[in-house]
């Protein structure tokens, strides 16, 4: 039975099946017709906004919508920074946690720092405000229960809701509305009508699998040798549910979902991995219903699914191969189990690695740094492409930039002004789309180059050569893709890494949200052009192949040299070493 639960078929098939009804429900809840606003279940988010003085839903243009997004996130940043900085004096701290620190960091003079460090707080807040959850700290060691709930879990609800709100605004612009909606109402609907109900259901199911959910302090146990052991506990199920559903990934414990309290059984493993992709898949279904073009949404869904299936297949194949380190040793040759929990095994670990990086989730149930070099290529490559379902809303927005680029390239081939969903795509939209695409490789390649060439990065890697470069490259890729997973072995909890990745987190998130809003605003102002014999169809296999080719071509041109220097060179080196007698 356990083997059946870890089979990739369940991890992929179940969310596909569930995404269809969920996408329909999201469409009904998040995009009600004007005469249904504030009625039925919609009365809850509308009523909440009225409590905070937001009387009636506003009709926002793209500039006002983008400004509301940025203003709201600035407020989130300030409030969250304050909570983490002052956690020692706040309630729900039964274990007496002190200030968040760069625990164990030694400066060049060899002095170890244990005081409150604004750099790690800055990095943590940047991480969770951007729906990334890159963790340069260990949750059970550094954070109080109040910080976990009031500073971490809260953001894990609100920040994916922001991404979903932007997706709703962009779709409204694509279908021709003069106004993109109300950012605050869209965010409230996303939290109250989607994330909270689903998280409550998943949290209850996780508690049923044996996951802790308590506000008591750490348990004290006496070992067989008579010693004392401290066992960290806390409100784990609440955080894990939303970390998966919201494509957040930030774990309660440092080992994330490799920890037995954060992923105790094969049932919890299946539930968590299904939750990773559920809402991102459903959001594409909702997209097709909102624009009344299910075939086009099916093409986009199909391209994303093809990339995901390819990633899972390669990762599983790679991790089923024997480790080169065991070649010629007097041990049984089997699948690569380094860095993996025995209860999960190589198949479930590799499947999770592909799905968590395809969706900008970032949670892990194994250490990606210990994967085979070709297995490590999969999570790195999926984050570099950054279009495969990805974070809630963000995956659609990133793919939309490639859709516009593919439509533009097709127009160049036939000498016709490109059109998308009945709107002409002109120079302004193409420039903004290309800017949104190119920011991502620019952040990754420049950051990796700088840290590889200086002691900021060279002095923090655990492995020399190509694998050490892969650790640096992966960290910047994860930050720019707003993923949050990492190649462990990198000593990244220091001021240089905290500040650099914090800046990359912000630049990887907000331009990718604002630029699509601008494009949608410009397209909303244009008149719809009736289709003709020369109109490029965007709802058939031909366009799907063109879209997939555009994604892969841009990805290869942007990242192939770096991938060759890192994991590919690492693979060739380990293979050559294993081939020696």
Asked if residue 550 lies in contact with residue 464, where contact means CB atoms within 8 angstroms, the answer is: no
Q: How far apart are CA 558 and CA 442, in angstroms?
A: 9
Q: How far apart are CA 157 and CA 202, in angstroms?
A: 14
Asked if residue 163 lies in contact with residue 23, where contact means CB atoms within 8 angstroms, the answer is: no
8-state DSSP, 264? -
Contacts for 332 with CB less than 8 Å, ≥ 6 apart: none
Q: Is the dihedral of CA 248, 251, 256, 259 positive or negative?
A: negative
The DSSP code sequence of 211-253 is -----S--EEEE-TTS-EEEE--SSHHHHHHHHHHTT----SS
184 lies in a domain? yes
8-state DSSP, 151? I
- Name the residue range of residue 397's domain: 2-219+229-325+333-579
Structure tokens at 311: 């990633």
439 lies in a domain? yes
Q: Is 380 helix (H, G, I), strand (E, B) or coil?
A: helix
447 lies in a domain? yes
Q: Is 153 helix (H, G, I), strand (E, B) or coil?
A: helix
In total, how many domains does the chain have? 1
Q: How far apart are CA 164 and CA 256, in angstroms?
A: 25
224 lies in a domain? no
Q: How far apart are CA 199 and CA 548, in angstroms?
A: 33
Q: Is 176 helix (H, G, I), strand (E, B) or coil?
A: coil
Asked if residue 75 lies in contact with residue 159, where contact means CB atoms within 8 angstroms, the answer is: no
8-state DSSP, 393? T
Structure tokens at 581: 């007698």
User: Alpha carbon of 23 to those of 18, 128, 280, 397, 520: distances in Å?
Assistant: 8, 26, 9, 17, 21
342 lies in a domain? yes
Ordered per-residue pLDDT tens for the chain, 581 residues: 455 556 788 889 999 999 999 999 999 999 999 888 888 898 999 888 888 776 677 788 999 999 999 999 999 999 888 888 878 777 777 767 766 665 444 554 555 554 447 888 888 889 889 988 887 776 566 777 777 777 788 888 999 999 999 999 999 999 887 789 999 999 999 999 999 999 999 999 999 999 988 877 777 887 778 778 777 777 888 889 999 999 888 777 878 888 888 899 889 999 999 999 999 999 999 999 999 999 999 999 999 999 999 999 999 999 998 877 666 676 667 788 888 888 888 999 999 999 999 998 888 988 888 899 999 999 999 999 999 887 788 889 999 999 999 999 888 777 677 888 888 888 899 999 999 999 999 999 999 999 999 989 988 888 888 999 999 999 999 999 999 888 877 888 888 898 999 999 999 999 999 999 999 999 998 888 877 777 778 888 999 999 999 999 999 999 999 999 999 999 888 877 766 66
Phi, psi of 372 (to 5 degrees): -60, 150
- From the list 374, 376, 375, 401, the residue with the least C-alpha distance to 387 is 401
Q: Is the dihedral of CA 293, 299, 302, 308 positive or negative?
A: negative
Give the count of alpha carbons within 13 A of 139, CB side only.
30
Stated pTM of the model: 0.91
Structure tokens at 97: 């946690």
């Amino acid at each position: 039975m356990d083997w059946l639960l870890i089979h990739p078929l369940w991890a992929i098939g179940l969310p596909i099946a569930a995404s269809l009804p969920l996408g329909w429900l999201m469409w009904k809840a998040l995009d009600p017709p004007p005469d249904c606003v504030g009625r039925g279940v919609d009365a809850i988010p509308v009523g909440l906004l009225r409590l905070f003085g937001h009387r009636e839903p506003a009709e926002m243009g793209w500039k006002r919508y983008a400004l509301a997004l940025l203003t709201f996130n600035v407020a989130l940043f300030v409030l969250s920074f304050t909570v983490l900085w002052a956690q020692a004096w706040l309630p729900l701290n039964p274990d007496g946690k002190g200030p968040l620190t760069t625990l164990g960091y030694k400066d060049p003079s060899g002095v170890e720092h244990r005081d409150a460090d604004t750099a790690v707080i800055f990095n943590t807040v940047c991480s969770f405000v951007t729906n990334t959850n890159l963790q340069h700290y260990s949750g059970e060691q550094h954070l109080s229960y109040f910080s976990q709930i009031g500073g971490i879990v809260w953001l894990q609800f609100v920040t994916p809701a922001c991404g979903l709100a932007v997706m709703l605004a962009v779709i409204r612009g694509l279908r021709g509305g003069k106004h993109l909606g109300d950012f605050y109402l869209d965010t409230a609907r996303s939290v109250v009508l989607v994330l909270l109900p689903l998280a409550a259901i998943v949290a209850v199911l996780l508690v049923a699998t044996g996951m802790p959910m308590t506000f008591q302090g750490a348990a004290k146990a006496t070992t067989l040798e008579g010693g004392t052991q401290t066992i960290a506990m806390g409100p784990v199920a609440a955080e894990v549910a939303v970390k998966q559903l919201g494509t957040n990934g930030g774990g309660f414990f440092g080992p994330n979902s490799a920890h037995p309290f954060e992923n105790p059984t094969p049932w919890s493993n299946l539930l968590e991995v299904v939750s990773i992709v559920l809402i991102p898949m459903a959001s594409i279904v909702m997209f097709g219903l909102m624009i009344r073009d299910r075939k086009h949404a099916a093409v986009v869904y199909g391209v994303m699914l093809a990339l995901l299936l390819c990633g899972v297949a390669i990762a599983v194949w790679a991790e089923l191969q024997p480790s080169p380190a065991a070649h010629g040793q007097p041990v049984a040759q089997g699948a690569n189990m380094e860095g993996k929990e025995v209860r999960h095994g190589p198949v479930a670990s590799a499947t999770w690695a592909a799905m968590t990086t395809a969706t900008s989730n970032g949670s892990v149930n194994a250490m990606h740094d210990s994967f085979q070099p070709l297995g490590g290529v999969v999570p790195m490559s999926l984050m570099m492409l950054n279009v495969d379902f990805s974070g809630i809303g963000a995956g659609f927005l990133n793919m939309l930039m490639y859709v516009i680029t593919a439509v533009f390239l097709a127009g160049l081939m036939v000498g016709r002004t490109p059109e998308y969903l009945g709107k002409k795509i002109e120079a302004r939209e193409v420039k903004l789309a290309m800017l949104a695409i190119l920011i991502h490789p620019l952040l990754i390649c420049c950051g990796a180059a700088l840290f590889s060439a200086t002691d900021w990065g060279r002095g923090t890697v655990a492995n020399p050569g190509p694998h050490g470069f892969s650790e640096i490259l992966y960290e910047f890729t994860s930050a720019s893709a707003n993923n949050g997973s990492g190649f462990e072995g990198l000593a990244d909890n220091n001021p240089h890494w905290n500040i650099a990745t914090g800046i990359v987190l912000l630049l990887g998130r907000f331009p990718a949200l604002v630029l699509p809003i601008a494009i949608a605003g410009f397209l909303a102002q244009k008149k719809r052009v009736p289709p003709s014999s020369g109109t490029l169809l965007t709802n058939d296999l031909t366009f799907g192949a063109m879209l997939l080719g555009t994604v892969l071509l841009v990805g290869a041109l942007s990242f192939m040299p770096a991938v060759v220097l890192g994991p590919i060179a690492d693979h060739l080196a380990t293979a050559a070493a294993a081939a020696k007698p």
